[in-house]
Structure 1
Amino acid sequence: MFEPLIAYQNVVRRGAKRAREQDLSKCLADSRRASRLSNPLSIPPSSPIMTSPFRLGQILKGKLSVYTITKQLHQSIWLANNRNKETVVIKSVGHFRLENERDVLKRFQDRAPLRPLIDEIEDPSDPPTLVLKYLDDDALRASTTKKLTRPEVIYVMRNVLEALKVLHEDGYVHTDVKPDNVLVNYGHGDIRFSDVKLGDCGSTVHRGSEHAKQGHLIGAPIFRSPEAQLRLGWNTATDIWSLGTMLISLLWGENWHIFKPDVPVDHEHYDLKILMKHHQFFGPFPLSYQEIAGGDTLTVLAYAMRGVPHEMMKPFQYISEREITKEDKAFILKIMKLDPRDRPTAKDLLEDEWFQTAEPLHGTITQHQFMGRSRGNAY
């Protein structure tokens, strides 16, 4: 298990920059802050472009209908009613992401289960404003309110994978797959959802773009792939890692996320601790990383792996069937490969036999019991 760690340490000794752990984590944190300032895929929280342009009761004129603002959900998101008193989502911000989302939806929404674009606002014309379909909830809130059944998890995963398959086959990367970007409508059958859509395509870019080649920081840190966390170049495989991380969150429920660190998001060790958790559950990082990462990155990986003592390793492959079905575990292990080149495609996953195993879970234990165990006494 620790041969890759020894090899990475040898790489460090042969010439990669040596640094203390706090220097490495500070470097990662500084890199994250710098990327947020320079990255057109992200919107700084304090940016003046986030100033609210609308007021409650304001009427917006679109190409297809007229909309009355009824509620503000976020600095850039509102609810509104159209002429037929149907609820829609209004999204408005003067930023690259909004126009990018419009273009992506126009290209893909007829072929993929993405939250569709309904209309564009013409008056006022500035800032650019989209009208999107309203859905009842998102998968994060739904799974926190009431744990999803196994058939519900499989239903959600199939729809998200269908969306990713269409995007990926055209070379596009969603970059922000996570439970709160999966929108759902409620139904009345055995599965509580009648519809599932993948939302927030504002950061969706082509795998050949400079954003991807230069490894721009993307998505939420706890759902971000190792290669994206390390700011290596990324491609469609980054979405597959995020999908697998989301699957784990949905199966366990309770708003629990396997890679969430025990420090606040603005802590300088936050990113390093996420890498340590990647190693703790799905490591070690394979030697093949030497083919895609430079010396400084290998130094970070060596320290991340060394920061997890042997007795704290919790290999996902050893989780018992009291905690997760063998089918779910096998499916997750196919997805959660640290080397992006080893991950299956969305098409591969849709053809997996896992989708034929939709019986409910039996005899599972809570995430608190799982997280409290170590390799020596849990498996």
Structure 2
Amino acid sequence: MSITSAERRSKDAIKARIKKIVQKRQSRRRCKLSDEELVLLALANSSDQWLMTAQIGEFAMSNSFFQKQAAQFLFGRTSLHASPQGIGSLPSRIESYLRTYGIPVHSKVDDENNKVYSMTAGAAYALLEGSYKKRSKATEKKLTTCPLLEIPIEIRMKIYHLVLKVSGFRLLVGTQSLSVYDDKITTWESRSQDALKMPPLNNFLALLSVNKQVYNEAMPEFYHENHFQFRDMGSMKNFLHNIGSERRKHMRNVSVSYYNLSAAAAGARLLAESDTLQKLTLTISATKDPAGHFTVNSSRRRFSSLTQIPGFSSMKRLRGVQQLVFNPRLEHDVVDAFLRPIITAPKPSKLSRKKKSNKRKRKHSELMSNHEAGQPAVKVSKIG
């Protein structure tokens, strides 16, 4: 029976709709269709024609964006140039798939005793469209629901603490790989200790990749519960810069060796952004010579005052540090006397900070008004 032009146009329209579905499921790197859907696509592409297994494979392989997946499916991960006999398991897979889902594909044995398959274009379109919608809904549901978020927030926070806290260890930053040292061993003694083994960071930090809400809840837990130790000021600067301001402000426990002075100013400035720093451990040696100049860690540089040491002016902005620890084996008295009274002082209250901010704004406004009026700024002092 010949096919009329109307029927041909109808089938062409159905094929176009099938192609549209496939394009939605296709990515640049790999085909998102399942192996069975590739078979259906081949049958739909040759609707009302009888195809042998080899012809189905040839169709899949002829489409470049199917090539990798089709090769694995048809040739069992062997070479693309494998013998056609390598697709011997395909018929049984097709039969099993068709029986499981009740797909209206017809099969018969041709004149040469080969099993061939056929499917109408309409049936193929209906099946692919249904499969696509079903998968889209499942993906949407998977993306919008997270079983972890069904747990009360109090229990979730306990889970975050158990997963993300490297209990009893220091995370050593600034080496080729992140090492972990026993926290019971002091910072200055740990040089002779072997790093203790722990699971790779990306294993337990994967929790932060679940979704945005879990990240926002769990990220602060990782930074304020762990002890970060830096090899020198350069590694601290790089780390604090890379994690960004949002993460920096959650760090509570930091140890750093005050070497690499060229990066000290930038590193200390970033560290001062932490709102929650509670413990700071410095490995530093600072001495004062008879001429009144200061040296740091046997550096050749001489500083006329401690404020000229790179990073110290930024360190002075820290407040509310509960513990300031130094290596007792190194000369640190001058640094201790300089930093401790300032950075261990209580943080100013929010009201006090607001008053200071308002005062600065008023002063700036007055200066701008005088400038616009062409009048010099006048300093007013009280006469007692």
Question: Which protein, 1 or 2, shows the higher relative CO under an 8 Å CA cutoff with sep ≥ 6?
Answer: 1
TM-score norm. by structure 1 comes to 0.22
More helix by share: 2
